[in-house]
Amino acid sequence: MTVLLPSGETVPVLGMGTWMMADDPTGRDDEIDALRTGLDLGLTLIDTAEMYGSGRSETLVGEAIGNRRDEVFLVSKVLPSNASTRGTVSACEASLRRLGTDRLDLYLLHWRGTVPLARTLDGFAALVDAGKIRHWGVSNLDLDDMRELTALPGFCQTNQILYNLTRRGPEHDLLPWHAAAGIPIMAYSPVEQGRLLDSPALAAVASRHDATPAQIALAWVLRLPHVTAIPKAGTPDHVRENARARDLTLSPEDLADLDHAFPPPTGPSPLAML
């Protein structure tokens, strides 16, 4: 199961996040195992950022990938405070060193700061020309920002945003805009950092599928055709569990029950971020 990017290539619908990986040294072996298990299961999109653990997450990802770099669609992000034209180039070069690779598949602006978008895009263009990134995109950009961005030269490949059953605001206007523009979104915190998983409504739907709440929460995000999701799982067992979400199809009854428990938006709301 894949999603088509504007570039014409496809990426797996389900990838892996890495925020807070490498924060606790005692979890390191499990985290590396988790990422390698995910690669074995086809979760070959890995999301990281220079911000995560001040680069420690990128170093861990580099170690986990090792000589499997060519299997991975590798995503990292530049902090807004580094996102001047030259700063973007330097930040990317530092990420590449930590990741132990010569290129990123996708480089995102982590959120919008004070640097004009055009300056960051100039940095992305220089990195593409140098072969250091293959594609670029953004994260946490709301509708007005996306309209401004897409009026500039170049092709944004994705907008990584907070989207899950408890964060349905983007359904009102941002998701329809993305679908019409042909720019997929990448849903982060798809299980609301674990807070969603105690939901009785999710448990009830899960029991109908012989599944777990996490699998249902992920299958719900992935019900839309232009959405990828990047849950973070720190153990191989959680990765295996999450991978099965790709095989689940929610019924109209499931979706109605989830709508009842987690109502869709009735009007516009600003894009939330974590």
Residues serving a catalytic function are: 52
Binding mask 58-97 for ligand NAP (x = CB under 6 A): ----------------------------------------
The correct pick among 44, 140, 157, 159 for binding ligand NAP (CB under 6 A) is 140
> How far, in Å, CA of 67 to CA of 69, rounded?
6
Q: How far is the CB of 33 from ligand NAP (least distance, A)?
A: 12
Number of residues that bind ligand NAP (CB under 6 A): 28
The contact pattern for ligand NAP, residues 173-192, with x = CB under 6 A and - = no contact, is: ---------------xxxxx
Contact call for residue 137 and ligand NAP (CB under 6 A): no
Residue 156's SS3 state is: strand
> Which residue number is nearest to ligand NAP in terms of Cβ?
17
Alpha helices (H) in the chain, listed in sequence order: 28-40, 56-65, 85-99, 117-129, 143-150, 174-181, 200-209, 213-221, 236-243, 252-261
- Which residues in the 30-49 window bind ligand NAP by CB under 6 A? 47
For tokens 């969603």, the residue is 196
User: In terms of CB distance, is 261 or 272 closer to ligand NAP?
Assistant: 272
Torsion angle, alpha carbons of 230, 231, 234, 237, to 10: -110
Q: Which two tokens stand for residue 136?
A: 């670029």
Is 241 a binder of ligand NAP (CB under 6 A)? yes
Check if the beta carbon of residue 161 is closer than 8 Å to that of residue 110: no
Q: In the chain, what are the helix, strand and coil shares in percent, each to the nearest 5?
A: 50, 15, 35
Q: Under the criterion CB under 6 A, does residue 24 sit at the interface with ligand NAP? A: no
What residues make contact with ligand NAP under the rule CB under 6 A? 17-19, 47, 110, 139-140, 160, 188-194, 197, 214, 230-235, 238, 241-242, 273-274
